[in-house]
Amino acid sequence: MNKKLQVGILGATGTVGQRLIQLLENHPWFEVRELGASDHSIGQKYREACHWRVSGSMPKFVQELPLRNCQPPFGVDLIFSVLPSSIAGPTELSFARAGYPVVSNSKNHRMAEDVPLLVPEINPNHLELIPVQQKKRGFGSGFVITNPNCTTIALILVLAPLDKVFGLQQVSVVTMQALSGAGYPGVPSLDIIDNVLPYIEGEEEKVELEPLKILGKYQSGKIICSDFKISAQCHRVNVQEGHLEAVSVKFNQTPTKSQLIEVLANCQSVDLPSAPRKSVIYLESPDRPQPRLDRNLGSGMSVAVGRIRPCSVFDYKFELLGHNTIRGAAGAAVLNAELLYKKKLLMAQQKV
């Protein structure tokens, strides 16, 4: 049996960090070795510093690990970064400069032209940017890859297969986003009980830009972004987990409803340990998907889609739902790391 690669987590005590630890427990290829957090946690054991808020109990393997600062060196082969964007940018670059592959969940480097914004089912060839990035930034064996924003990834897993077959022309999306998307403690309870917040700072810009890069074509060391139009309106709602999105789409070649359903009902995922069997699950019932009922489909790694119907302004409209801290964050990062491993892009694999 191959020796597992050692991994470190920056931001291990947070909402996404806890999910990451849960998903990496008993992982076939990775073993969590080092944990980083902020100054007020440093020196404490994980169980002392972390208020565990994920379902189930804190995994035993992590309880006694000490928390340390988020500066290299770490005694690991791979870094997961789930840091707040206020510090993620320079911290991730310092690890890449020190020779570590960095799998980032933060927004800072997503749109950088030499950084892959990766979704294994959609654009694995964007990993060709890694040598471009290493050369441009003088990184040696280190590099940064990123996963999309939690709203974008659910949307793009549905849009990508449709774009491939029918061609996207215009997309409008109205989101109803869960509270856990704002980290902990997030939105004050008095702001969100009996209420909907019609503004999430920076979110609409991310949802309008990131899909164009993800669906872009890799060509001569660059991504040529796709050029269909997206309009996003984002809202925070009183739901714990699961982002619901109401989507309207105009295509280059308008499909019939059954053609549309056939494409969405046949979205296979990829052959990686954390991948669901299907990246998209089509639900026929007219009142689905719903966050409470459908967010854990495919262990939180599948996107649910339903209510497909003609639209009097665009061609079709439908609802989709993604688990924001699993497929939208920690699970997406683990899947990206698994793709790096499978493609033997982690230097440490040569030693294993």
Bridge partners for 9 per DSSP:
35, 80
Give yes or no: 225 in active site: no
No. of helices (H) and no. of strands (E), the chain:
11, 14
Contact 8/65 with Cβ under 8 angstroms? no
Q: Which residues contact 25 (CB under 8 A, 6 or more apart)?
A: 59, 61, 62
Contact 35/12 with Cβ under 8 angstroms? yes
Query: Of 3, 28, 40, 191, which lies in the binding site for ligand NAP, with binding defined by CB under 6 A?
Result: 40
Please give the residues from 58 up to 77 whose contact with ligand NAP meets the rule CB under 6 A: 70
Nearest approach in angstroms of CB 186 to ligand NAP is 8
Instruction: Tell me the residue ranges of DSSP E strands in 37-83.
Output: 67-68, 78-81
165 CA to centre of own chain: 24
Give yes or no: 50 in active site: no
- Candidates 117-125, 178-186, 213-221, 281-289; binding stretch for ligand NAP (CB under 6 A): 178-186
Q: Which of 109, 126, 243, 323 is catalytic?
A: 243
Measure the CA–CA gap between 85 and 101, rounded to whole angstroms. 18
- Candidates 127-135, 155-163, 290-298, 322-330; binding stretch for ligand NAP (CB under 6 A): 322-330
Query: Of 324, 326, 333, 336, which lies in the binding site for ligand NAP, with binding defined by CB under 6 A?
Result: 324
Nearest approach in angstroms of CB 88 to ligand NAP is 6
Contact 210/120 with Cβ under 8 angstroms? no
Nearest approach in angstroms of CB 178 to ligand NAP is 7
Torsion of the alpha carbons at 347, 348, 351 and 352, rounded to the nearest 10:
-130
Cα three-residue angle 47-181-323, rounded to 5 degrees:
95
**Site membership for ligand NAP, residue 88 (CB under 6 A):** yes
| Residue 195: both structure tokens together | 């209420």
Nearest approach in angstroms of CB 173 to ligand NAP is 17
- Residue matched to tokens 């990206």: 336
Nearest approach in angstroms of CB 343 to ligand NAP is 24
**Site membership for ligand NAP, residue 322 (CB under 6 A):** no
Q: Which of 150, 234, 267, 323 is catalytic?
A: 150
Query: Of 22, 105, 269, 336, which lies in the binding site for ligand NAP, with binding defined by CB under 6 A?
Result: 105
List residues binding ligand NAP (CB under 6 A): 11-17, 37-38, 40-41, 70, 82-85, 87-88, 105-106, 150, 180-181, 183-184, 324-325, 328-329
- Active-site residues, by number, are 150, 243
